Structure 1
Amino acid sequence: MKNAVIENRVEKELNEWLVREQRFQKLFSFSVDRNRAFLREKLRYYRTLQAKYKARAGPKEQLTLRMMREEQRAIEKQLYPNLWIRLGYKVLSGIVQGASADREQKRQAAHIQDLKESFRKLGFPEVPLDRQKLRDHQKMMIPVAYEVGENQRMAFELNLEKGDKGQFHLVGYTAYLQREGNTPLTVKQHFEINKENIITAKQAYNLLSGRPVMTGTKENRHWVQLDINDRDSSFNYCIRRFYTGYGFDLEKKLRELPLKELRTPEETRKLIKALQNGEQKEVTFIQGNKQQRIVLEVNPRFKSLNLFNQKGEKVSLPQALKDKVSRKTGLRKGKRLQKGLPGKDRIRVRRK
């Protein structure tokens, strides 16, 4: 019987009305089933249910709707004993119901657009939404997936819940980073959505790739990073958080490096924003007429920046500075020119 109530949506909503009716009966001394104001409200509620489920009712719900129509007729006769007045009421209520249905349809369309806009702001691609499912369910899970690089794929399960006003909101999502190849690997993490800490799809990819991102608003801005060596009771990776008081200043650390990308405020802002999103950024070290391409990523835990060469190998700052190459001569530090044989090019030898 319990399962039948859950399956029959019309019966479920009628039960909600019955609870309200019983509560009113306790509050007031008069009989609610004889009160005209209450009966008119009950009739409006029945008409709303008829319009809501008429076109998509299952067999059990169709039977409930037929029985509800019988009770509607009985209430109409009680309210409007005169046949002509009753017919006029039906015509007028039909017009009102049609206008109400149009408004509801427009509201649903606007709601779907708002949902899609919220997905877009979080960096998700176009998400298909079924209007009927949005009407019929209190909770929904929508899958989304796309390629992020060679042998890499991101998949998401978007969790939607209906609020008090009947509109769905994204309350969280589970992100999966899938790597193919000789050693396939899938890592996942569930992220809650709230106004204080919002993780975008791009940031989720960077977090699952092992890099930190900055989240939060105003004074709550801080770095977060997944601890791949520790999980909680829900099998999510534990999260390390590094707030302002921890002492890591990204811009200050960048200013310690001879970066070409710090020449203008706009370039500086772009670089900082990319690193805050957890991206690896290729930058140019400059010293005089020498330059070297280096890849940077943030390491707030150790209040530093990680540096990588073009082969993806981690290097120290002294190594990066030592390997700078002159664009004019192609010479490296610690080397000089020595004359070769006639007709031959000079060769580089180390100074003894």
Structure 2
Amino acid sequence: MNQKNLEYLQEQVKYTGFGEGLNDEIRTKIEAGEEKFIVLHEAEFGKDKVDAVLFFSKSKESDMYFFNKYDMALAKEGETEKLAQTFYINKGNNITLKEAYNLMEGRAVNKNLTSAGGELYNSWLQLDFKQADDRGNFKLRHFNEKFGYDLEAALAKHPIKELSDESHKKDLMASLKKGNLQSVTLVRDGAEKKHFIEATPQYKSITIYDENRQRLDSRKAKSEKQAEDSGQSAKNESKKQAVPDDESGPAAKKTRSSKKKGQGV
């Protein structure tokens, strides 16, 4: 058995998010000399369950084994039908188990990738659930640097408390780049309230959810943004006195109904 190859595979599996619990099984199957073998892994993210099948194969020219891909099936709480996707293993470009879960949840993940020509580049990845290939895999959309999504600028448009501390800001951005739905504190009129956010590269923005993880309506969000920008003038509006409608008519009292407004997404 090629000991260095075994250790490399175990490290590769570990840093792809499967931990060290599969080490003994991988060793046993390699010692048995199997040409191809699979290893099973189960995980939970909150109340969602994930089943993964890891695929390994032996080189035709040597005693080396390769970790080729893993199939992942996501069973969401309260749903009977599972969502499935295959994630391929590429040197230095691996999508981790947690990142795969986030992608299957519909969120975007930021990765440093290597092109076919060997050049490094950065891109946001997101599954397109409307398009699948002939193997049944959903298409993986890319939003690279040329697309122009600036996560830091998108965050700066919102009164997020964590942005005021450089360390917290760094951690927040790192979490969002992994595709996580991240808890934040929004501050409005001196009041703090818990929300959740995710990166939305397709629209060069972030998506905001309330404390119950319900997505804020975009129209409501837009009106909240307008209210925040013109809060003081809205207060003055209700105090306006009567003004004449025209030169010949009597003075008429004008009133304007105040509208409920909120923060933009």
- The alignment's TM-score, normalised by the length of structure 1, stands at 0.57
Q: Distance in 2 between matches of 1:201 and 1:319?
A: 38
Residue 223 of structure 1 corresponds to which residue in structure 2? Answer: 124
Partner in structure 2 of residue 306 of structure 1: 207
Among 154, 176, 179, the alignment partner of 2:76 is 179
Mapping 1:258-337, distance limit 5 Å: 258-287=159-188, 289-315=190-216, 316=218, 317-318=221-222
CA gap 1:319/1:170 in 2 versus in 1, 3 angstroms:
farther
Q: Is the 8 A contact 1:308 1:314 kept in 2?
A: yes
Distance 1:252 1:289 in 2: 23
- Bigger relative CO (Cα 8 Å, ≥ 6 apart): 2
Alpha-carbon contact 1:226-1:239 (below 8 Å) kept? yes
* 1-structure distance, mates of 2:192, 2:227: 9
Q: Kindly indicate whether the alpha-carbon contact (under 8 Å) linking 1:292 and 1:323 is maintained by their aligned counterparts in 2.
A: no
The letter of the residue matching 2:95 is I
Distance 1:314 1:130 in 2: 42
Q: Give the unaligned 5+ runs of structure 2.
A: 115-119, 229-233, 236-256, 259-265
Q: Which residue of 1 aligns with 2:10?
A: 116
Cα distance change, pair 143–214 in 1 and its aligned pair in 2 (3 A): same
What is the Cα deviation at residue 140 of structure 1?
A: 1.5
1:297-343 superposed Cα distances (whole Å, 9 cap, x missing partner): 1111111111111132222444666899xxxxxxxx97xxxxxxxxx
Q: Say whether 1:202 aligns with 2:92.
A: no
CA contact (8 A) 1:198 1:216 kept: no
C-alpha distance 259-130 of structure 1, shift in aligned 2 (>3 A): closer
Q: Structure 1's 116 and 209: CA in aligned 2 closer, same or farther, altered over 3 A?
A: same
- For residues 190-210 of structure 1, what are the alpha-carbon distances to aligned partners after superposition, in whole Å with 9 as ceiling and x for unaligned? 111112532000000001111
**Secondary structure, counterpart of 2:87 in structure 1:** strand
Q: Secondary structure at the match of 1:220?
A: strand
C-alpha change, 1:230 and 1:280, in structure 2 (3 Å) is same
Distance in 2, matches of 1:284 and 1:233, equals: 43
> 2 CA distance for matches of 1:209 and 1:250?
20
Structural mapping, 1:156-195, within 5 Å:
156-163=52-59, 164-181=61-78, 183-195=79-91
1:294: Cα distance to partner? 1.7
Deviations 1:130-163 (A, max 9, x none): 534213112221111122222x211111111224
Query: What secondary structure, in the 3-state scheme, does the structure 2 residue paired with 1:158 have?
Result: strand
Cα 1:249/1:160, change in 2 over 3 Å: same
For 1:216, what is the secondary structure of its paired residue?
strand
- 1:134 to 2:50 alignment: no
**Number of residue-to-residue matches in the alignment:** 220
1:254 Cα deviation from its structure 2 partner: 1.0
Mapping of residues 22-101 of structure 1, within 5 Å:
none
- How far apart, CA to CA, are the structure 1 residues paired with 2:91 and 2:27? 26
Task: Give the SS at the match of 1:275.
Answer: helix
Shift of 1:214: 1.1
Alpha-carbon distance in structure 2 between the residues aligned to 1:225 and 1:296: 16
- Residue by residue over 1:103-146, the C-alpha shift from the partner in whole angstroms, topping out at 9 and shown as x without a partner, is x6xx53x5444322222211113114253421311222111112
- Residue 193 of structure 2 aligns to a residue in which SS? strand
- Any gaps of 5 or more consecutive residues in structure 1? 1-103, 325-332, 335-349
Q: Could you tell which deviates more after superposition, 212-221 or 298-307?
A: 212-221
Q: Distance in 2 between matches of 1:174 and 1:238?
A: 15
Counterpart of 1:45? none
Q: Cα RMSD over matched residues?
A: 2.6
- In the superposition, relative to structure 1, how do residues 319 and 155 fare at CA in structure 2: closer, same or farther (>3 Å)? farther
**Which of these two proteins has the greater Rg computed from alpha carbons?**
1
